[in-house]
Amino acid sequence: MKDFKNELVELLNNKKAKIGILGLGYVGQPLALRYSALNYKTIGFDVDETKVAELNTGHSSIEHICDDTVKAAIENGFEATTNFDRVTECDALILCVPTPLNKYREPDISFVTRTTDMMAPYLREGQIVSLESTTYPGTTEEELLPRIQHNGLKVGEDIFLVYSPEREDPGNPHFNTQTIPKVVGGHTSECREVGVALYEQAIDKVVPVSSTRAAELTKLLENIHRAVNIGLVNEMKIVADSMGIDIFEVVDAAATKPFGFTPYYPGPGLGGHCIPIDPFYLTWKAREYGLNTRFIELSGEVNRAMPEYVVNKLMDGLNKHQKSLNGSRVLVLGIAYKKNVDDMRESPSVEIMELIRDKGAEVSYSDPHVPTFPKMREHSFDLHSTELTPESLNNFDAVILATDHEKFDYDLIYENSQIIIDSRGKYRGKNGKVIKA
């Protein structure tokens, strides 16, 4: 009997394995470029023909990924394709596709299942399949396992299956794909061994866990931890504001305690692909076991209410100037979900813009990282970023600071705006035209 496990481990350790990355977004692109930089032959798969064509010309539409890095990868043999029959060429296949929520706030794993179905006919003996998309515990076993084994392949003997959650943090200058530890859980111990071999060449520290389910729950816990604590501090913000206390001052003061406290800061809501979504993957799955995750769901309610809280603060500010929101001109500063990136996924700024538009105001935005409002699955604005000048700022009845990019000239904004709704604490200590939100 052929020893597929040891042969594959040897290929991976010797960097002679061919790596396939399925999904070339904020997770897939950095991972593909990392393997290519290590001299693995790397193929990127995506259904988006425009994205594939751009990458093959040496350009990435993701702001923090340099074109020079893509061009170096191409020189090293990287190529992108929409042709899934090339899955057969690859020794390792890593799925990095979206896992959003549907309109009922339930898990939508259709990208995972469709991608697996597209590659399944081309799977062969001696491959490893790794899912990195965030999802509920059991997805790898319940959805990928039967699809991979449908043509007679035996997982753990002929082919290997692992779950290894992505931990990308776009725009973070302190951590990257290489330096963020990688959790790996295998369907069998043999699968885990191959999974460790797959990642330990590219990642500084690999953390094996006992199963794919443990790895899936690990990712959910990481992000639920953040969501719950952000929900707590957002609720504290409302209490502090009612009492005339600056919540940012309070958090900073509490953070001086050298033990037992981790600072989280309030904002206009949660953004990004993980933190606003992941808690609902667990709450949905928990219901299968007759469990109610009340604590997690409550924090979700608090965080989802923040965009409306910001808009209410806007209306209060306009009322003090004898203006209504209906008919006013409002500028939203920053529409990426966090500062210094171009990532728009689940951005609360977009919800704020929609609430303002629905109440009859004329809404515009300014974001140095997003020159044109992108096409999104659930949101639509035909807008371009407004250049910030004294004249342009004076033309708006109010400005909402939603995302605190470092590229903004905050003195210019303060001096030339009529009202500033500050959801990020950037104008702490400023009175008069600044309204805390």
Catalytic amino acids? 274
Q: Ramachandran region of residue 148, left (φ > 0), alpha (ψ -120 to 50) or beta? A: alpha
Among residues 198, 197, 133, 212, the alpha carbon closest in space to that of 165 is found at: 133
3-state class percentages of the chain: helix first, strand second, coil last, to nearest 5? 40, 15, 45
Reading the block at residue 131, the tokens are 């899912």
284 with 297: CB under 8 angstroms? Answer: no
313 with 340: CB under 8 angstroms? Answer: no
Distance between CA atoms of residues 348 and 237, nearest Å: 17
Counting beta carbons within 10 angstroms of the beta carbon of residue 312, is it exposed (0 to 12), middle (13 to 18) or buried (19 or more)? middle
274 with 316: CB under 8 angstroms? Answer: no
CA angle 209, 213, 215 (to 5 degrees): 45
Among residues 324, 375, 329, the alpha carbon closest in space to that of 350 is found at: 375
Distance between CA atoms of residues 97 and 45, nearest Å: 10
Count how many Cα atoms sit within 13 Å of the Cα of residue 345 in the half-sphere of its side chain.
Answer: 17
Count how many Cα atoms sit within 13 Å of the Cα of residue 230 in the half-sphere of its side chain.
Answer: 22
Counting beta carbons within 10 angstroms of the beta carbon of residue 73, is it exposed (0 to 12), middle (13 to 18) or buried (19 or more)? buried
Alpha-carbon torsion (264, 426, 172, 29), positive or negative: positive
Among residues 229, 430, 420, the alpha carbon closest in space to that of 310 is found at: 420
